[in-house]
Structure 1
Amino acid sequence: MRKSLSQRITLSVVGVIVAVLFGFPTYWLITTSFKTPGQVLSPAYDLIPTSATLDNFVSAITKPGFVTYMTNSLIVTLGSVLCALVAGLLAAVPLARMRFRGRRGFLLLVLIAQLAPLPALFLPMFLLMRDAGLLNTLPALLAVYTASTLPFTTWMLYGFVNGIPIELEEAAMIDGCGRWGAFRRVTLPLLGPGLVATSVFGFITAWNEFLYALVLMKDQGKQTLPVWLSTFRTAFSVDWGGIMAASVIYAVPALVFFLIVQRKLVSGLTSGAVKG
């Protein structure tokens, strides 16, 4: 049913209001990062700054340990995304292509594991890493982040694999491909949108994690960017301009990653419905 002009105007106005409400915090973050300390603490809420400075960005980038924190974050984030994709794919393909006893029960366990909140697993994770001698090592964070994203990755990739007709692989095998060759040449290219959609979730989850990075990594040389952000607050003051600039810098890698994969992200989100 075609909407009337008044309904379309109302929906457009509501959409603009919602967009402004969600976009204003980001706008305030960016504008504050360019303000001087006096402007930041001024009681006058100037929505459009009259002057700008890059001092906050310079102080954030030159803050001791920035390069180390950035490197650690990239290592554990990209590493956990890659490990979760490989392990999730190895689990999703048999679940979607094979019929065995306990298959539905295993899928239910995967879903239950995804529902468990990550902070609730902190104590057993800490004890496990301590007994394994992995405390204060990047592999500990890599293992935790992989484990936290693996259930969702497996569940999502199961839906994508299940949505690809098995007849395509059978046709490739008739033409001379082996089972691995049929998967590599037919199924894997079609899983591109699914791999992208799940990798975005894994990247955001690992990139923003703070609690495990703070507690498991006692050595500052092993900590990540979320912990670095907390260093702008001391017992005596808060460097608001610095923390705003640092937050903008912190968001850049995630934005770049999203821009790289965004072409396949939409198609991945719309084609990943789980079938029977």
Structure 2
Amino acid sequence: MSTVSARGRTRLGWNLLGLLVFAAAGFPVYWMLNTAIKPAKDAIDPDPSLLPTGFTFANFRRALHIADFWGPVGRSLTVSLAVVAIGVVVGMLAALAISRFAFRGRKVVIVGILAVQMVPLVAMIIPVFLLLNDLDQYDKLSGLIITYLTFILPFTVWTLRGFIVNIPKELEEAAMVDGCSRAGAFVRVVFPLLAPGMVATSVYGFIQAWNEYLYALMLLSQKNQTATVWLGNFTTKHGTEYAPMMAGATLLAVPIVALFLLVQRKMAAGLTAGAVKG
């Protein structure tokens, strides 16, 4: 009886801890939505209310008309989708090479992939700027895409490598015995099993490219600004329009939420796949 009671208290404690973490993580999102729908004057109240004090769409209309909205959103979508498409293809091929083929320097490549992820992004701003300027890629979306790929590819390669390693080689060998080429065996056997991992890495890459601010600010002019930099238009010499800014941030969060809702099952499977090797 005491054992059951102890287990109940332990479970209750973990549940309370989970609720606390959820509240801490969800409060900024709630405050963003609360500020987005309240009247602008209430957003700058020195004594703010935790509960909504009103409901208005004026902040969203202001956000859509303060500057060009669809231009930055379109550029962000272009950059994010290009980074995901190129990153997944290149990352998958690189992960396949590292996982399936033994070549000289293989361990050095693996260690290098990990080392690249440890370099602070801020430390590379000046070298990246000088390199893109020399390549005539400054203030171009293609230059920003190349820059984002250098940040996202190491994670993509490392993650997909873990999935490929957990796929038995015997499956490919059996397909090759049945008449498939090596490429055919990969397409028909390995590729379908990689779908959860590819979805998980794609969502990660999309979120990183969509939300990145510092490099988009430094490498693009105002006429080519992306959606995150566009939010800076709400800060002027007269002050910051907090309510429209939160409305704009809410609009920018919609694609991420929609993407997550579309692929949440595949993403959950991708994040948990490989935990138990069959």
Residue 148 of structure 2 aligns with which residue?
Answer: 145
Distance 1:216 1:83 in 2: 20
Q: Which among 98, 111, 120 is matched to residue 108 of structure 1?
A: 111
Residue 18 of structure 1 aligns with which residue?
Answer: 21
Distance 1:255 1:52 in 2: 22
Relative to 1, partners in 2 of residues 1:80 and 1:19: Cα closer, same or farther, differing over 3 Å? same
What are the ranges of 5 or more consecutive residues in structure 1 without an aligned counterpart? none
Residue 12 of structure 2 aligns with which residue?
Answer: 9
Distance 2:224 2:46 in 1: 39
The structural deviation recorded for 1:49 is 1.8
The structural deviation recorded for 1:222 is 1.3
Query: Which letter does structure 1 place at the counterpart of 2:232?
Result: S
Distance 2:53 2:105 in 1: 65
Residue 262 of structure 1 aligns with which residue?
Answer: 264
What are the ranges of 5 or more consecutive residues in structure 2 without an aligned counterpart? none
Query: Which letter does structure 2 place at the counterpart of 1:89?
Result: M
Distance 2:174 2:161 in 1: 21
Q: Percent identity?
A: 44
Whether the aligned pair in 2 keeps the contact of 1:156 and 1:272 (CA below 8 Å) is no
Q: Which among 172, 175, 187 is matched to residue 184 of structure 1?
A: 187
Relative to 1, partners in 2 of residues 1:122 and 1:272: Cα closer, same or farther, differing over 3 Å? farther
Deviations 1:182-213 (A, max 9, x none): 10010000000110111122111111111111
Q: Which among 26, 30, 41 is matched to residue 38 of structure 1?
A: 41
Whether the aligned pair in 2 keeps the contact of 1:29 and 1:244 (CA below 8 Å) is yes
Residue 28 of structure 1 aligns with which residue?
Answer: 31
Residue 160 of structure 1 aligns with which residue?
Answer: 163
Q: Which among 199, 223, 226 is matched to residue 225 of structure 2?
A: 223
Query: Which letter does structure 1 place at the counterpart of 2:245?
Result: I
Distance 1:16 1:193 in 2: 28
Residue 84 of structure 1 aligns with which residue?
Answer: 87
Provide the TM-score with structure 2 as the length reference.
0.94
The structural deviation recorded for 1:272 is 4.6
Deviations 1:31-73 (A, max 9, x none): 1101112211223432222420000011112232111000000
Provide the TM-score with structure 1 as the length reference.
0.94
Distance 1:130 1:147 in 2: 16
